[in-house]
Amino acid sequence: MQGELRCEHCRDVIGVYEPVVTMIDGEPLRTSRAVALGHLRGAPCFHEECFQRAEGPGGPPKSNG
């Protein structure tokens, strides 16, 4: 079983069927854990609503990939 995936903004758990935004090559990718679990390991992940909040001044963290 996979560990919990937590939002980088609010630190709450992102549920398996919840929409998730992750940064891939510096660009946001909108998907769900159920679809893209393998792609989410090590990448910053956000709830959609949290990502929109984090896009404000400074924006969300950029991936190093």
Residue 17 lies in a domain: yes
pLDDT tens-digit map of 17-30: 888 998 888 888 88
Instruction: Check pLDDT > 70 for residue 6.
Output: yes
Residue 31 lies in a domain: yes
3-class state of residue 63 by DSSP = coil
Residue 44 lies in a domain: no
For residue 32, the enclosing domain spans: 1-39
Residue 60 lies in a domain: no
Residue 64 lies in a domain: no
pTM over 0.85: no
The number of distinct structural domains making up the chain is 1
Measure the CA dihedral 16/63/9/41, to 10°. 30
- Confidence band for 9, pLDDT divided at 50, 70 and 90: very high
Residue 63 lies in a domain: no
- Mean pLDDT, the chain, whole residue set: 77
